[in-house]
Chains A and B, each alone.
Chain A
């Protein structure tokens, strides 16, 4: 059984713990064990912290990577933001000796060091790599009634030269998984448009306008739900629909799934085990 060091980050354990719980259960059922990265901190945030102070962002990311290295396992992360930070920092430090030297000097002051011996994976990649055959064998409740619009978000596939997850312009990774669980992937024009959450703190108006543009496009399709691999995008869609509906006098009520929630339902976990009762936008028709 393959084992990974689970990097929890902040948003999922502090705001969406049901995603943490179902992800661990789904992974276990698919033969993937996870272990804690003791004392890990915020990744830190790939937009905010990096914009404020690059050196601090890199040093804290390197500390987290060094903690994971001590476990002897590759990192598995559930958050696209954490995936972005840790993958980029790992890449920078592995391939830039000067930077690695500077960061290791900082880390030595807290008795740690970065060696560059592990890789960073997003849970979506791990599920994809488990493969169609294994996933289909495990499906107990095919989700035939779901027509799923996949929202990849900004941080899972870009920059592709570093992340190597999927085609950065036409990613299919989630659509493949959606089809393996018996649901129908739905294509739409604005698939690669940002959900807007990244600018919420500095421009709440633009944040809602972006979300509205995306939701309006989805309404023109046959999609009856949204799936995302990112907890920030998840919150933006799940809670943000209400705000967009109120602000623009429109009605958006798409059920929203985090990728392992969709897997969880298909693998036979109950809606309560999956945590659907904790969503803001109610989810119907999943029984």
Chain B
């Protein structure tokens, strides 16, 4: 049942029926490699906690982001961003 629902959701997305908030997650992933932004407040807090201001993740590596974007382009996920129309 879970697999069936997943397949239906994927089909619905291809037909343009993805809810807008979900598309925003896709957009954030494509643009930064992450779902949540590292804000100025976060960076300050991380410093105060003795952590690096930004961890060594995709967010701090243009090459890593390029790899994530290439995968999203090849699989077709980035094309979903082009459809701005959201049908609910």
Chain B CB within 8 A of A41 CB: yes
Chain B CB within 8 A of A192 CB: no
Chain B CB within 8 A of A265 CB: no
Which residues from A are CB-within-8-Å of B56?
36, 38-39
Q: How far is it, in angstroms, between the C-alpha of A107 and the C-alpha of B67 when the chains are bound?
A: 9
Which chain B residue lies CB-closest to A11?
B36
Q: How far is it, in angstroms, between the C-alpha of A21 and the C-alpha of B63 when the chains are bound?
A: 27
B84 to chain A, nearest CB (A): 15
Q: How far is it, in angstroms, between the C-alpha of A275 and the C-alpha of B71 when the chains are bound?
A: 37
Chain B CB within 8 A of A48 CB: yes
Whether A55 lies near B75 (C-beta < 8 A) is yes
Known A14-B42, A15-B42, A45-B25; judge A21-B6 contact (CB<8 A).
no
Which chain B residue lies CB-closest to A20?
B51
Which chain B residue lies CB-closest to A275?
B49
Whether A17 lies near B6 (C-beta < 8 A) is no
Whether A110 lies near B25 (C-beta < 8 A) is no
Interface size in chain B (residues, C-beta < 8 A): 43
Which residues from B are CB-within-8-Å of A60?
29, 68, 71-72
Chain A CB within 8 A of B87 CB: no
Question: In this complex, which of B6, B51, B57, B65 has the most chain A Cβ atoms within 10 angstroms of its Cβ?
Answer: B57
Known A40-B57, A42-B29, A202-B22; judge A56-B51 contact (CB<8 A).
no
Known A14-B42, A41-B33, A60-B68; judge A8-B55 contact (CB<8 A).
yes
Interface size in chain A (residues, C-beta < 8 A): 39
Known A14-B42, A41-B64; judge A49-B55 contact (CB<8 A).
no
Q: Per-position contact with A for B63-88: 1 when CB-CB < 8 Å, else 0? A: 11101101110111100100000000
Whether A51 lies near B57 (C-beta < 8 A) is no
Main secondary structure, interface of B, reads helix
Which residues from A are CB-within-8-Å of B45?
17-18, 278
A270 to chain B, nearest CB (A): 13
Which residues from A are CB-within-8-Å of B33?
41-42
Which residues from B are CB-within-8-Å of A201?
19, 21-22, 25
Which chain A residue lies CB-closest to B13?
A52
B7 to chain A, nearest CB (A): 8
Question: In this complex, which of A18, A36, A44 has the most chain B Cβ atoms within 10 angstroms of its Cβ?
Answer: A44
B83 to chain A, nearest CB (A): 12
Residue pairs across A and B with Cβ atoms less than 8 A apart, 24 shown, are A10-B34, A11-B35, A13-B51, A14-B34, A14-B36, A14-B42, A18-B49, A20-B51, A38-B61, A39-B56, A39-B61, A41-B64, A42-B35, A51-B6, A51-B22, A52-B10, A52-B26, A53-B75, A56-B75, A107-B71, A112-B67, A201-B21, A202-B21, A278-B45
* Given A42-B35, A51-B10: 18 more A-B contacts, CB < 8 Å: A11-B35, A17-B45, A17-B46, A39-B63, A40-B57, A44-B35, A50-B6, A52-B26, A53-B75, A53-B77, A54-B6, A54-B10, A56-B71, A59-B71, A63-B71, A106-B71, A106-B75, A110-B70
